[in-house]
Structure 1
Amino acid sequence: MAEITSLTQSSIDRQNILNNPFAIEKLQETIGLVGFQWKGCPVFLKQQVADFLEVDVRTIERYLSTHGEELEKNGYTLLKGKSLKDFKHLSKLADINVGQSAQSLGIFNFKSVLNLAMLLTESEKAKIIRSRILSIVIDTIAHKSGGRTKYINQRDEDYLPAAFQEENYRKQFTDAVDKYIHAPKWKYGKYTNLVYESIFKENAKEYKKILNLAAKEKVRDTLYAEVLDLIASFEAGLAAELETKAGELGRPLTAQEANTTFIRFAEQPLFKPLIIKARTKMASRDLCFRDALHSKLEAYIQSVPESDFERFLGEKSKDLKERINENIAVFKRLKDK
C-alpha cells in the first residue's frame, strides 16, 4: 500500500483509494465531515473544506487551479445556470449563505474532499487524514478478501473457468513439448518460462519473489483470469506450431529450432493488444491489492477501476472453496467430455 508521502505525489495511488467504494463507505463513517444535502449526496463549500483541512481558502483555490481535472473527475463541480439557481434556493431555505449574486459556485462531494486531503502538503490535518485513509483501506481490503490478498485473483467469478481451461491447454502444450522437441527434461520449465516472459516479462522465479510465494506455491494459482486466458492461447497455439514444424521436418525439433519457432510465434501482431491488456491488469491489480510491484511492468501500471473492487471484494466475489462447491457438478461434466 502507498506510503503517506506518496499519496501527495502519485495520482495512481490516490485514484486506487478513491475507486474503492468499500473504503469510501467506511471513511464516510469515520472522517466526521457533515455536508449540505444536494441531489441525495452531501456536498461542501470551499470555506467548509478549508476549515476542515485547516488551510486558507486561497490554498484550496490554488489546488483547484493545479489539479482541477483530477478533482473534477472525483466529484468537484462548478455550478452555473439552473443548477446554481436551484442550489441557491435550497441553501437559502437551509439558512446557508452561498452568496446570492455569485455567477458560479464550486462544490465538493466527499470523494473530492478526500482527494484534496491526499494532495495537500501544507496541512497537518490533511496528513493525519491520509494516515487514517491508508489504515482504513488496508483494513478494508484485508477484511473483504479474508486476509488472503495473495490469492485475491481466485475470488473472481471468471477465475475457475479460466483455470480449468488453462489446465487443459497446459496438457496439450506439455505433450507437444515432450513429443516434438528433442531436449532434456528441463525443456518443460524452459518453455513455460518463455511463455511467462513473453506475456509479463518475468520468469517463474522472479514472479514468485515479487509475490513472496513459498517454494511449493504455484504461480498459476495467483494469476488473474485474463492472464490465464492468454497463457492458454499461447500454449494452444504453440502446441499446434510445434506439431506443424515437426511435421514439415519429419522429426522432432532441436532446442535451437524450438527457440526460433517460439520467438516467431510470440511476435505475431495478434497477441500485442492482448499482452498489453494482461500486463496492465496484472501490474495494476497487484500493486493495488497485493502491494506487489512488478518493476519490469511499471510502465503499464494504471489506477484500478471501481468495477475491479466489486469484482474481487464485492458481493459477487467468493472464496475459492465456496465457488468450487457451487460449481462442482458443472466441472465434473466438463471433465468427462
Structure 2
Amino acid sequence: MNDLTTAQLQRQNILNNRYALQAAEQHLQLGGVVFQGQTVFTKQQVTALFEVSDATVERYISNHGEELKGNGYQLLKGKNLKEFKDLVDVSLINEGNKAPLLGVFSFRAVLNLAMLLTESERAKAVRSRLLDIVMDVLAERTGGHTKYINQRDEHYLIASFQEESYRKQFTDALDHFVVENQWKYVRFTNLIYQCIFRENAAEYRQVLKLAAKDSIRDTMYSEVLTLIASLETGLAHELEKEFKRLGRKLSMQEGAALFGQFESHPLFKPFILDARTKMASRDLEFRDALHHKLEAYIQSVPEADFDRFLGETSKSLEDRLSDPATLAVFKRLKDR
C-alpha cells in the first residue's frame, strides 16, 4: 500500500468504500455533530482532533479543495448556516457568529483530511487504523477469498455461461477453418487476451498468483468475459467467411493476420478501454494485484463497484447456485 498522503487514487478507493466508512465511523469514534442526517465537523473540531493549527487546515483546504469538496467538505450559508448555528455551541465556530459562510467537514471529508495531513501524529494513527478497517471489511464480506471476488457480481454467472457457449463456437471454428497445429488453441486464445489486457495467459496467471489448477476465466469480471465472448464469436465468423472465400483452411499465419485486422475495428475500442480500466482498477483494489502493462488505465474504483462486490446484492457463487431464481434463468438460457 502506497503512502496515503501522496496516493490520491488509494485515498479515493477507501473513501468510495461505504462499507469501510460505516465500520470506521463506528470504531474510530471521532465525535462530530449530527446535522441534516449526517455527522459533520467544524474546522474548530478538526484542528482539535488532529492537533494542528487553523492555518494548517486552511492550507490543506486551499491545496486540496477539489478533492475535499468531492468527499463532503462544504460551505454552509443562508438557511443552512442559521440552522447549524442554532444546533451547536458557538464555541465550535471559530469564524465568529457573524460570519456569512462556515466550512464544515463530513465524516468522509475528515477521513480524507486525515489521509492528507503530514504534520499530525493523530492523523497518522487514524490512517493506520483506517487501513486495518478496510482490510477487515474486505475479508469479512468476501469470507477472506478475494481471488474469486469477481464471482460475487450478480452478472457473473450469466456472463460466464454465455462465454462458454461462444467459446465452443470459437474452438469449432478453429477446428474447421484453420490447419491442424497443436498450439492453435493456445495461440488464438492468447491473441484475444493480449488484445484486451495486453497479457497472455501465463502473464495473467502470474499477476493473479494463480495455481496451475486454477481456471483463468473463473477469475475474470463479467464485462471482460462478455468482451472475450464477442471477440470469440466474431473471429469464428471471420474465419468461416475467409475459409469459404479461399476454398481451403487458413494457415496459422493467415489466421493471426485475420485476427489483427478484426481486432483493429473501431467498434471494439470503447469496450476494450472499459475492460482494461475495470480489470486493472478492481484487481489492484480488491486483489492487490498490479497489471503492469495496464498501469495507465488504473482509476479509483467507483462506489457502485463496492456495492457490486461487497454489498447486499453480492453473493458467493455457492449461494447463487442454490438460488431457485438463478437456476430458472439458466434453464431458460439452455432451452433457447
Deviation at 1:308, TM superposition (A): 0.7
* Structure 2 residue aligned with 1:205: 202
* Structure 2 residue aligned with 1:318: 315
| 2:118 is the counterpart of 1:121 | yes
1:330 maps to amino acid = V
Report percent identity of matched pairs.
59
| 2:258 is the counterpart of 1:261 | yes
1:89-134 CA-partner distances (Å, limit 9, x unpaired): 2225x87545211121100010000000001111111111111111
* Structure 2 residue aligned with 1:102: 99
C-alpha RMSD of matched pairs (Å)? 1.3
1:216-235 CA-partner distances (Å, limit 9, x unpaired): 11110000000000000000
Q: Using a 3 Å threshold, how does the CA distance of structure 1 residues 97 and 107 change in structure 2: closer, same or farther?
A: closer
Tell me, in whole angstroms, the C-alpha distance in 1 between the residues paired with 2:249 and 2:331. 35
Tell me, in whole angstroms, the C-alpha distance in 1 between the residues paired with 2:275 and 2:93. 51
Deviation at 1:45, TM superposition (A): 0.8
Tell me, in whole angstroms, the C-alpha distance in 1 between the residues paired with 2:319 and 2:303. 24
Tell me, in whole angstroms, the C-alpha distance in 2 between the residues paired with 1:331 and 1:104. 57
* Structure 1 residue aligned with 2:296: 299
Q: SS where residue 119 of structure 1 aligns?
A: coil
| 2:195 is the counterpart of 1:214 | no
Deviation at 1:329, TM superposition (A): 3.9
Q: TM-score, normalised by structure 1?
A: 0.96
Moved more, 83-92 or 187-196: 83-92
* Structure 2 residue aligned with 1:270: 267
Tell me, in whole angstroms, the C-alpha distance in 2 between the residues paired with 1:107 and 1:332. 54
Contact 2:44 2:93 in 1 (8 A): no
* Structure 1 residue aligned with 2:330: 331
| 2:135 is the counterpart of 1:162 | no
In the alignment, which of 170, 175, 178 is matched to residue 175 of structure 2? Answer: 178
2:179 maps to amino acid = H
Tell me, in whole angstroms, the C-alpha distance in 1 between the residues paired with 2:74 and 2:229. 46
Tell me, in whole angstroms, the C-alpha distance in 1 between the residues paired with 2:77 and 2:195. 52
How many residues are aligned here?
A: 333
Contact 2:42 2:93 in 1 (8 A): no
Q: Using a 3 Å threshold, how does the CA distance of structure 1 residues 250 and 97 change in structure 2: closer, same or farther?
A: closer
Q: TM-score, normalised by structure 2?
A: 0.96
Tell me, in whole angstroms, the C-alpha distance in 2 between the residues paired with 1:247 and 1:133. 61
* Structure 2 residue aligned with 1:145: 142
Deviation at 1:54, TM superposition (A): 1.5
Contact 2:197 2:276 in 1 (8 A): yes
* Structure 2 residue aligned with 1:73: 70
Unaligned runs of 5+ in 1: none
* Structure 1 residue aligned with 2:230: 233
Moved more, 116-125 or 95-104: 95-104
Deviation at 1:273, TM superposition (A): 0.3
Q: SS where residue 34 of structure 1 aligns?
A: coil
* Structure 1 residue aligned with 2:80: 83
Query: After the TM superposition, which parts of structure 1 deviate over 3 Å for at least 4 consecutive aligned residues?
Result: 94-98
In the alignment, which of 190, 193, 196 is matched to residue 190 of structure 2? Answer: 193
Q: SS where residue 263 of structure 1 aligns?
A: helix
Unaligned runs of 5+ in 2: none
